[in-house]
Amino acid sequence: MESAKRAILAQATIDFGQIAAGATDEETMTVPQAREGSVVSVSAPDLEAGLIATGYVSNESEVTIRVANVTGGAVDPAEQTFYVAVTY
């Protein structure tokens, strides 16, 4: 029998710097009880077109948000709130 899944919800306001074309940038946020190997879902409702946000648990109680720029030019994303759900 599979055990019940648990989800931890968190949010953080992050101001990424300029991201070059084809590059990524990472910032961390605290998510109490996050565990390595958990599934991380990221939402950033106002993320500029051509930017893709993903996340992973990088340390105990810490999630790293990675933003990839898939455009042909540099983008300096506006500061915004990122929402994460960590499921384990």
Averaged pLDDT in 10-residue chunks for the chain of 88 residues = 82 98 98 95 96 98 98 97 96
pTM, two decimal places: 0.91
pLDDT at 6: 92
pLDDT of residue 4: 67
Query: 12-87 has which fold?
Result: Deoxyuridine 5'-Triphosphate Nucleotidohydrolase; Chain A (2.70.40)
The rounded distance, in Å, linking the Cα atoms of 71 and 85 is 27
Res 5: pLDDT: 84
